[in-house]
Each structure stands twice: as structure tokens, then as C-alpha cells.
Amino acid sequence: MAIVKAKKVEVEIQKQTIAEADCKYMVLLKYEPEDYISTEVLSVVLTNEKPIVRQTIDKGDKIVDGNGN
């Protein structure tokens, strides 16, 4: 597993609607490095299952749901 410290991070979930697509969803993880202006693709994941988007908050002694649930 790579650990990358970035200036900006973007997660893109793209639903594939064309019949020839290998999978129903493509998930891209992109980032901008701290040292220079560039957009780098860290990973691409293909899946037929709808991706789960989850946000959490580290409180120091516990991890809690970041969506207010």
C-alpha cells in the first residue's frame, strides 16, 4: 500500500453506461503533489458493484461517522 501526502485529492466515481464497458463503475483516485502543480492518477478500480462512499472523523480515541449519522 502506498502512502502519499498530497496538496489536493480527488475521488471520481464514473458510471459506465455503454454496452461495451468492462464494468459498471470506474473509480479514480487522483492527487496533486505538494511540491509541484500536476494531476497524478494514483489508482483506477473497476467494479460491477456500486461503490460505497464513506467519510469518517478521527477523534483521537475513536473513529466516528463523518456524515452526521
pLDDT in tens, the chain (69 residues): 889 999 999 999 999 999 999 999 999 999 999 988 899 999 999 999 999 999 999 999 999 998 765
Q: What is the pLDDT of residue 67?
A: 77
Does 59 map to a domain?
no
Does 69 map to a domain?
no
> Rounded to two decimals, what is the model's pTM?
0.79
Does 34 map to a domain?
yes
Total of domains in the chain: 1
Does 36 map to a domain?
yes
Q: Are 32 and 39 in contact (CB under 8 A)?
A: yes
Does 18 map to a domain?
yes
Measured distance CA(14)–CA(8) in Å, rounded: 19
Q: Are 30 and 12 in contact (CB under 8 A)?
A: yes
Does 29 map to a domain?
yes
Q: What is the pLDDT of residue 2?
A: 81
Does 20 map to a domain?
yes
Domain that holds residue 36: 1-50
Q: What is the pLDDT of residue 1?
A: 81
